[in-house]
Amino acid sequence: MQYKIPLFDLNFDEAEEKAVIETLKSKWISIGPKCEEFENKFAKMLNADFAISMSNCTTALHLAFASLGIREGDEVITPSLTFVATVNAIRYVGATPVFCDICNYEDLTIDPVKIENLITEKTKAIVVMHYGGFAVDMDAVMDIAKRYNLKVVEDACHGPLSEYKGKKLGTIGDVGCFSFFSNKNISTGEGGMIVTNRKDLLDKTKLLRSHGMTSMSYERAKGHSTTYDVIELGFNFRMDDIRASIGIVQLDKLQNDLEKRAIVREQYIKGLKDVEEIIIPFLNYKEFSSNYIFPILLKNSNINKREEVRDKLHKKGIQTSVHYSSVHRYSIYKKYNVTLPITEYVSENIITLPMFGKLKEQDIQYVIDAIKEIISNN
């Protein structure tokens, strides 16, 4: 279906096309100079010491846990209100996910108080997910991590340039992971990035990213080495220069796009804040945010009512989504047998509305009017 107002629209133009063509003409299309440029530019924008380009954010999360030494028998405390990759990556290294509830209906991030109640002698790490680009209470999380000697992985896939008390999300814990999937703030089709301020984690991650090899083809082509050893059981989680060239252009556009998204959010809030039947999560959030998505939560609702509202919006040509289903309710994770009442209600009653920088004022108003009409008649 061709929606009148889609959920998302790529922020692409001739600049991305030109970058790809130039990379193709260079005849170096695998990991190489463009990946290096992308990494350096990304690290500088986040005020991070190091950035490592990855094939996607899932592999970034996988190597984040692996580089931190998380392994079988360890426990990692994780939100359930997240994309399943956050939790899958814990299982990739053989560790056990311990699901934690979120704060409340206004703050959809993992609850530090509940985190501390879940810590056992097997707990080795906490993974936080900055929902929608809105920061977790990182002071509280880092305090817990320090007191219990735990590692912190930031799933910042929603939050490039989002801030927490002047620090960029993804740079506060031990490792930050970002996504460049096609619908993210930075789009390269597939792609991801790890950021860290720890040189040991940089070295470990780069090694595991490319088969455990001590040097890569690009380095050998520059004459830095002619041979290599394999010293770890690594993976092929590399980005390529074609995608990196797109990412470089996207970074140049990012600040302007995020400023436009902030205006879109303001208009949504102005039009919806007095609708009694809904909650707008993070309504009074003051930090700079990427505004990856704009969610609303239906009050006194259930999943059937939520789907009725979404279907009526669909019929009006408005595309919506759900961020997210509860991971602990997926068949593969039901064996952990947990109940997370706030997460479960949110998963069944949240609606993600269209959000992108190029969204026009009249289209935002069309969505606002449609929601008011549908909810009042539902």
List the domain boundaries for the chain.
Answer: 14-100+109-250, 255-377
The model carries a pTM of 0.96
> Which 8-state DSSP code applies to residue 26?
H
> Which 8-state DSSP code applies to residue 158?
T
Residue-level pLDDT at 181: 98
Cβ neighbors of 251 (< 8 A, separation 6 or more) are: 38, 41, 42, 45, 186
Phi/psi at 172 (nearest 5 deg)?
-95, -40
Phi/psi at 203 (nearest 5 deg)?
-65, -45
CATH number attached to the domain at 255-377: 3.90.1150.10
Residue-level pLDDT at 221: 57
Residue-level pLDDT at 200: 97
- What fold characterizes domain 14-100+109-250? Aspartate Aminotransferase; domain 2 (3.40.640)
Cβ neighbors of 177 (< 8 A, separation 6 or more) are: 57, 60, 61, 64, 153, 154, 155, 156, 157, 170, 192, 193, 194
Residue-level pLDDT at 215: 81
Instruction: Per residue of the chain (378 residues), give pLDDT as tens.
Output: 789 999 999 999 999 999 999 999 999 999 999 999 999 999 999 999 999 999 999 999 999 999 999 999 999 999 999 999 999 999 999 999 999 999 999 999 999 999 999 999 999 999 999 999 999 999 999 999 999 999 999 999 999 999 999 999 999 999 999 999 999 999 999 999 999 999 999 999 999 999 999 887 666 556 566 688 999 999 999 999 999 999 999 999 999 999 999 999 999 999 999 999 999 999 999 999 999 999 999 999 999 999 999 999 999 999 999 999 999 999 999 999 999 999 999 999 999 999 999 999 999 999 999 999 999 887
Q: Catalytic residue positions?
A: 184
Residue-level pLDDT at 220: 57
Domains 14-100+109-250 and 255-377 share a fold: no
